[in-house]
């Protein structure tokens, strides 16, 4: 890292600024950063668009955030909506709302209450997904993967019947996999638990497989 001193950036209202290297960034309102941003901490309340990539040790978001590049962070917290065009990499992410990633989404621990859509690979050492809406990823991989439908969806479904909280994936691989309401081509794991509402083409497991009676698994292979 460069030795130059990092400055803080604060913006309130409808503002635009160039990107750059900062210490702490605090944004309120409708902000646009037109370039790559590198900072220690970014907190945003409102609507944020970054025309570039964001790299921030810590990230706190409330509202909408669109990053037209990649996102790299150690710790991210927030609620609202994140859209990343070109890959997300993080250590510890906890988010309520919707995450939309073009490219791969890779995290150490990823806890999402809401919906997540990943164009490529979704990977996490620990994935904890509580679905409020439809979720999708081409591939999911990691050590402990837990996908559940949030209890609140029952209430939401009373209000609008369409969007079902279901996860679609071509392939899911993990050491310990627990799924609910998932449609997947292949699930591979050591310990696999298929909960209610699943439709799985093929499960390959090593130690243990449990299948809920309300789910279908076309093919089961122990290896």
Partner 1 sequence: MEQELISKKELLDEKGISYGQLYRWKRKQLIPEEWFIRKSTFTGQETFFPKDLILTRIDKIMNMKDDLSLDELADKLSPLLPAFELRKADLFKRNIVSHVVLERFASEDKESVVYTYEKLLYFYIVDKLLQAGEMSLEEGDKLLQTMKDHYPKFEGKPCELLFMRKMGVSSFALLSVPAEIYFETGVKLIARLSMAESIEHLKGKLE
Site residues for partner 1 per CB under 8 A: 89, 106-108, 123-125, 141-144, 170-171, 173-175, 185-186, 188-190, 201-202, 223
Q: How far is the CB of 178 from partner 1 (least distance, A)?
A: 14
Q: Which three-class secondary structure state does DSSP give residue 31?
A: strand
15 or 190, CB closer to partner 1?
190
Please choose, from the candidates 209, 172, 216, the residue with its C-alpha nearest in 3D space to the C-alpha of residue 193. Answer: 209
Q: What token pair was written down for 57?
A: 């040790």
27 or 145, CB closer to partner 1?
145
Q: How far is the CB of 154 from partner 1 (least distance, A)?
A: 32
Rg (CA), the chain: 19
Please choose, from the candidates 212, 172, 207, 219, the residue with its C-alpha nearest in 3D space to the C-alpha of residue 194. Answer: 212
Q: How far is the CB of 104 from partner 1 (least distance, A)?
A: 9
How far apart are alpha carbons 36 and 123 in whole angstroms? Answer: 25
48 or 198, CB closer to partner 1?
198
Q: How far is the CB of 164 from partner 1 (least distance, A)?
A: 24
Alpha carbon distances (Å) from 130 to 111, 153, 178, 212: 8, 10, 12, 18
- Cβ-contact 181, 200 below 8 angstroms: no
60 or 185, CB closer to partner 1?
185
27 or 203, CB closer to partner 1?
203
Q: How far is the CB of 8 from partner 1 (least distance, A)?
A: 27
Q: Which residue has the tokens 């130690």?
A: 207
């Amino acid at each position: 890292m460069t030795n130059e001193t990092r400055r803080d950036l604060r913006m309130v209202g409808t503002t635009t600024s160039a990107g750059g290297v900062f210490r702490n960034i605090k944004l309120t309102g409708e902000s646009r950063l037109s370039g790559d941003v590198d900072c220690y901490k970014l907190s945003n309340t409102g609507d944020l668009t970054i025309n570039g990539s964001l790299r921030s040790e810590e990230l706190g978001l409330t509202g909408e955030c669109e990053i037209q590049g990649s996102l790299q962070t150690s710790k991210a917290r927030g609620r609202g909506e994140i859209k990343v065009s070109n890959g997300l990499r993080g250590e510890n992410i906890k988010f309520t709302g919707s995450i939309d990633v073009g490219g791969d989404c890779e995290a150490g621990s990823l806890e999402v209450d809401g919906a997540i859509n990943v164009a490529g690979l979704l990977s996490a050492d620990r994935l904890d997904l509580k679905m409020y809406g439809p979720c999708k990823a081409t591939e999911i991989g990691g050590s402990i993967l837990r996908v559940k439908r949030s209890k609140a969806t029952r209430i939401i479904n009373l209000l609008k019947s369409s969007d079902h909280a279901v996860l679609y994936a071509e392939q899911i691989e993990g050491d310990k996999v627990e799924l609910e309401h998932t449609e997947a081509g292949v699930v591979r794991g050591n310990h696999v638990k298929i909960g209610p509402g699943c439709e799985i083409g093929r499960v390959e497991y090593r130690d243990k497989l449990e299948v809920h009676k309300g789910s279908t698994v076309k093919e089961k292979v122990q290896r």
